[in-house]
């Protein structure tokens, strides 16, 4: 039990004590219908649902609250007006700290949403239409999502860092006839030609597109070309008259969103209205133990599911205050995150391990010089967080005061699935913790046989939950194939997981990434965490490659802390280090020092590409459209160690 970090003594819970968690969890699995109908009371319904889950995993057919109707924009905005008209809904922090930030009350947000919804109406958007958003991280990105929800249109947000080619593919896949974009976006010192990229996407020869209207938000004022008849300035179409909310059946689609593409071609995941809303609202409420008036900041872009559920929908459904950050963690310097926290007195901060590791690499002074006394809770999402990075986040950023919620979930799950709750559970660095209410986890072996007790296996979920994706848009067979065919009758997450003696869950990495060395199965996350523990190592990615004797060998890619030098001595030292930390079986065969690791645009390490390079088989690297820096791959191939 020595690896527990006790929750700080002064954290007096309001939402969920340990006993309440146990009681509520038991009820959520024993009487799911009653439990979820109660949670559905968090929302305002036109027709209240009488039934909760109606689902089957064989055949795959999932419905929640199917006889209920509601509108999600109404729930995020309009219904808060009587009590929260003057409560701050959004705080916008621009890319350049010299540009003034501003905030919007719920009353002002309501006006902005009306302006956007009326503009979309004039563009021709109707219930059921797909609308592609290709936006910078600005308030209009959120109002565009909300306006779509208001009209009953289905939004598909494509991250603004994607190429015209990737954008075209995503417009085509969901037959979107409308695009919302801005003239340009800003990220650090870079200007992103969003509108020019849309123009290029719409001319892509390999795609059949039928886009009739493009709505353009003026952001930087940069010069762009407007196509007569197709393109419209938002300001020309916006108007403030009332625009009623479209009543939606709970199972009407809310959005399509593409997964990060870590393991292959991204999937266009479809979420529906009622179940997703209940999931976003309740996970936000419990996981972050959100208190009225608190400032919540999730640093994710709205192009990812984290931005959907915890920048937009979760906070607004709870009448919360959400920070919308346009910039990046290292501009104008490595202190930007902490400067923003001090400036807006952020109480809850939610970010990704990739950002934590990048900032940990720099001097602590960047953190220490900014006042972080407003912080109450920290969160992590997106990848396993190495215990070393966890401790730095806890000790240095959170001054040892703030609990950390390490939330495991996926685009397909809509919201948190495994996490500790701040007042209910002690934390273990590197473990996501316990299942959220209603989540029924099962570890199975390669044959699908259930595993009991403290053990490792393939992470499956046996019962549906409200926030579950319903299908892959336009390709239900792919949905079944991807999630329900490996272990029939169960949802398979694709992740490997260990359950310890305290029933805490530890994500060990993608199942495809498990390595088998001389008959010993090892999660890549474990070897990576051992490497990151070394004071000179900033980040590590470990993959297996075919080895004549051992079956698989261990190939480690390592980036070093700022100012450290790579050489043979350090390589030898790191081999010894891993040997000592885990055991001789985990001794790295190859150490490859690099100045960076290939990542998806959402910041996840793309191990499948590293595997190819380690296998000395880099002819076809698979889908690389979501790779953040393609030139890095060339450098990695040049520096490969296994020739």
Binding residues for CoA: 306, 330, 518, 579
Q: Which residues are annotated as a binding site?
A: 306, 330, 382-384, 406-411, 495, 510, 518, 521, 532, 534, 537, 579
From residue 128, how far is each of 153, 280, 281, 583 by CA, in Å?
A: 5, 22, 23, 56
Q: Which does 408 bind (CB under 5 to 8 A by kind): ligand ATP, Mg ion, none?
A: ligand ATP
Q: Which does 442 bind (CB under 5 to 8 A by kind): Mg ion, ligand ATP, none?
A: none
Q: Please tell me the distance from the alpha carbon of residue 521 to that of residue 88, in angstroms, as a whole number.
A: 50
**Shorter beta-carbon distance to ligand ATP: residue 353 or 553:** 353
Burial class (CB in 10 A: 0-12, 13-18, 19+), 11: middle
**Can you tell me which residue has the tokens 């239409």?**
129
Residues 498-537 that bind ligand ATP (CB under 6 A): 507, 510
Q: Please tell me the distance from the alpha carbon of residue 641 to that of residue 643, in angstroms, as a whole number.
A: 6
**Shorter beta-carbon distance to ligand ATP: residue 344 or 611:** 611
Minimum separation from the CB atom of position 171 to Mg ion (A)? 22
Q: From 168, 217, 161, 223, select the one nearest 186 (Cα to Cα).
A: 161
**Shorter beta-carbon distance to Mg ion: residue 319 or 627:** 627
542 binding ligand ATP? (CB under 6 A) = no
Minimum separation from the CB atom of position 280 to ligand ATP (A)? 15
Residue count, binding to Mg ion (CB under 5 A) = 1
Q: Which does 78 bind (CB under 5 to 8 A by kind): Mg ion, ligand ATP, none?
A: none
**Shorter beta-carbon distance to Mg ion: residue 36 or 409:** 409
Q: Please tell me the distance from the alpha carbon of residue 622 to that of residue 613, in angstroms, as a whole number.
A: 12
CA 66 to chain centre: 27
Residue count, binding to ligand ATP (CB under 6 A) = 26
28 binding ligand ATP? (CB under 6 A) = no
How would you classify residue 433: left for phi > 0, otherwise alpha for psi between -120 and 50, otherwise beta?
left
Structure tokens at 574: 């790191």
Site stretch for ligand ATP (CB under 6 A), options 55-63, 160-168, 331-339, 406-414: 406-414
319 binding ligand ATP? (CB under 6 A) = no
Minimum separation from the CB atom of position 287 to ligand ATP (A)? 11
Cα angle 519, 495, 534; round to 5? 70
Residues 248-287 that bind ligand ATP (CB under 6 A): 259-264, 266
Minimum separation from the CB atom of position 410 to Mg ion (A)? 5
Q: From 380, 391, 409, 418, select the one nearest 499 (Cα to Cα).
A: 418
Burial class (CB in 10 A: 0-12, 13-18, 19+), 317: buried
Q: Report helix angle 164-173 to 194-202, nearest 10.
A: 60
Minimum separation from the CB atom of position 459 to Mg ion (A)? 12
420 binding ligand ATP? (CB under 6 A) = no
Paired with 462 in beta bridges are: none
Q: Which does 382 bind (CB under 5 to 8 A by kind): ligand ATP, Mg ion, none?
A: ligand ATP
The torsion angle over the Cα atoms of residues 307, 310, 312 and 314, rounded to 10 degrees, is: 150
Minimum separation from the CB atom of position 440 to ligand ATP (A)? 17
Site stretch for ligand ATP (CB under 6 A), options 107-115, 207-215, 490-498, 554-562: 490-498
75 binding ligand ATP? (CB under 6 A) = no
**HEC-encoded secondary structure of 418-439:** EECCCCCCCECCCCCEEECCCC
Looking at residue 152, the DSSP 8-state letter turns out to be T
**Shorter beta-carbon distance to ligand ATP: residue 264 or 292:** 264
Residues 396-455 that bind Mg ion (CB under 5 A): none
381 binding ligand ATP? (CB under 6 A) = yes
Paired with 258 in beta bridges are: 268
Phi, psi of 323 (to 5 degrees): -85, 130
**Shorter beta-carbon distance to ligand ATP: residue 32 or 430:** 430
The torsion angle over the Cα atoms of residues 144, 145, 148 and 149, rounded to 10 degrees, is: -140
115 binding ligand ATP? (CB under 6 A) = no
Query: DSSP H helical segments within 5-128, as ranges?
Result: 18-30, 32-39, 72-76, 81-84, 106-123
User: Which of 185, 382, 438, 496 is close enough to bind ligand ATP by CB under 6 A?
Assistant: 382
From residue 526, how far is each of 355, 488, 495, 506, 581 by CA, in Å?
A: 19, 29, 14, 10, 10
Site stretch for ligand ATP (CB under 6 A), options 6-14, 287-295, 335-343, 488-496: 488-496
384 binding ligand ATP? (CB under 6 A) = yes
Do 370 and 344 meet the contact criterion of CB atoms below 8 Å apart?
no
Q: Which residues are annotated as a binding site for Mg(2+)?
A: 532, 534, 537
**Shorter beta-carbon distance to ligand ATP: residue 272 or 380:** 380
299 binding ligand ATP? (CB under 6 A) = no
Cα angle 396, 15, 82; round to 5? 105
Residues 6+ apart with CB under 8 A from 286: 15, 16, 421, 436, 437
User: Which of 323, 432, 571, 621 is close enough to bind ligand ATP by CB under 6 A?
Assistant: 432
157 binding ligand ATP? (CB under 6 A) = no
Q: From 435, 410, 408, 440, select the one nearest 424 (Cα to Cα).
A: 435
User: Which of 310, 325, 408, 491 is close enough to bind ligand ATP by CB under 6 A?
Assistant: 408
599 binding ligand ATP? (CB under 6 A) = no
Binding mask 234-263 toward Mg ion (x if CB under 5 A, else -) reads -------------------------x----
**Shorter beta-carbon distance to Mg ion: residue 27 or 478:** 478
**Shorter beta-carbon distance to ligand ATP: residue 117 or 257:** 257
Minimum separation from the CB atom of position 37 to ligand ATP (A)? 28
Do 177 and 211 meet the contact criterion of CB atoms below 8 Å apart?
yes
Q: Which does 604 bind (CB under 5 to 8 A by kind): Mg ion, ligand ATP, none?
A: ligand ATP
491 binding ligand ATP? (CB under 6 A) = no
**Can you tell me which residue has the tokens 């009350």?**
105
Structure tokens at 606: 């793309």
- Chain residue whose CB lies nearest Mg ion: 259
Minimum separation from the CB atom of position 107 to ligand ATP (A)? 34
Residues in contact with Mg ion by the rule CB under 5 A: 259
Residues in contact with ligand ATP by the rule CB under 6 A: 259-264, 266, 380-384, 406-411, 432, 493-495, 507, 510, 602, 604
């Amino acid at each position: 039990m020595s690896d527990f970090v006790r929750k700080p003594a002064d954290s007096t819970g309001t939402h969920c004590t340990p006993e309440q968690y146990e009681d509520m969890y038991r009820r959520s699995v024993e009487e799911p219908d009653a439990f979820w109908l109660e949670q559905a009371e968090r929302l305002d319904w036109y027709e209240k649902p009488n039934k909760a889950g109606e689902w089957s995993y064989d055949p795959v057919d999932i419905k929640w609250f199917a006889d209920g109707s509601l509108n999600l924009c109404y729930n995020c905005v309009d219904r808060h007006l009587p009590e929260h008209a003057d409560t701050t809904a959004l705080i916008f922090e621009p890319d350049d700290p010299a540009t003034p930030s501003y905030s919007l009350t719920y009353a002002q947000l309501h006006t902005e949403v009306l302006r956007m919804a009326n503009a979309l109406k004039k563009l021709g958007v109707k219930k059921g239409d797909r609308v592609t958003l290709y936006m910078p991280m600005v308030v209009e990105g959120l109002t565009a999502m909300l306006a779509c929800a208001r009209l009953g249109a289905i939004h598909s947000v494509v991250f603004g860092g994607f190429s015209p080619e990737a954008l075209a593919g995503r417009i085509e896949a969901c037959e979107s006839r409308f695009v919302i974009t801005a003239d340009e976006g800003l990220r650090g010192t870079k200007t992103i030609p969003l509108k020019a990229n849309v123009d290029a996407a719409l001319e892509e020869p390999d795609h059949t597109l039928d886009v009739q209207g493009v709505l353009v938000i003026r952001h930087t004022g940069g010069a762009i070309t407007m196509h007569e008849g197709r393109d419209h300035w938002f300001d020309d179409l916006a108007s403030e008259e009332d625009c009623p909310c479209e009543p939606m059946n709970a199972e009407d689609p809310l959005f399509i969103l593409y997964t990060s593409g870590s393991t292959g071609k991204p999937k266009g995941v479809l979420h529906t209205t009622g179940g997703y809303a209940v999931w976003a609202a309740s996970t936000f409420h419990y996981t972050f133990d959100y208190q009225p008036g608190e400032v919540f900041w999730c640093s994710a872009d709205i192009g990812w599911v984290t931005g959907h559920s915890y920048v937009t929908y979760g906070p607004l459904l709870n009448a919360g205050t959400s920070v919308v950050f346009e910039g990046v963690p290292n501009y104008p310097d490595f202190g930007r995150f902490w400067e923003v926290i001090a400036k807006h007195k952020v109480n809850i901060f939610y970010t990704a391990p990739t950002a934590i590791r990048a900032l940990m690499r720099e001097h602590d002074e960047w953190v220490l010089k900014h006042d972080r006394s407003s912080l109450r809770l920290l969160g992590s999402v997106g990848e396993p967080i190495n215990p070393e990075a966890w401790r730095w986040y806890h000790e240095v950023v959170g001054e040892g005061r703030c609990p950390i919620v390490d939330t495991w979930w996926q685009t397909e799950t809509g919201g948190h699935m495994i996490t500790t709750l701040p007042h209910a559970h002690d934390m273990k660095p590197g473990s996501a913790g316990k299942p959220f209410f209603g989540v029924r986890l099962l570890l199975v072996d390669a044959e699908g046989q259930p595993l009991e007790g403290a053990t490792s296996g393939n992470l499956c979920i046996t019962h549906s939950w409200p926030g579950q994706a319903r299908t892959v848009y336009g390709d239900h067979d792919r949905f079944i194939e991807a999630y329900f065919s490996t272990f029939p009758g169960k949802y398979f997450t694709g992740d490997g997981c260990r359950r310890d003696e305290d029933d805490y869950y530890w994500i060990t990495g993608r199942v495809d990434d498990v390595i088998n060395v001389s008959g010993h199965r090892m999660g890549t996350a474990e070897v990576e965490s051992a490497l990151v523990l070394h004071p000179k190592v900033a980040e590590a990615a470990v993959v297996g490659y075919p080895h004549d004797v051992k079956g698989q060998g261990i190939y480690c890619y390592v980036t070093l802390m700022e100012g450290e030098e790579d050489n043979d001595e350090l390589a030898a030292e790191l081999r010894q280090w891993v040997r000592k930390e885990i055991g001789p079986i985990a001794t790295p065969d190859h150490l490859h020092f690099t100045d960076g690791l290939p990542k998806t645009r959402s910041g996840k390490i793309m191990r499948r590409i590293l595997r190819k390079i380690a296998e000395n088989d880099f002819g076809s690297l698979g889908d690389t459209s979501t790779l953040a820096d393609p030139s890095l791959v060339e450098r990695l191939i040049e520096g490969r160690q296994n020739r």
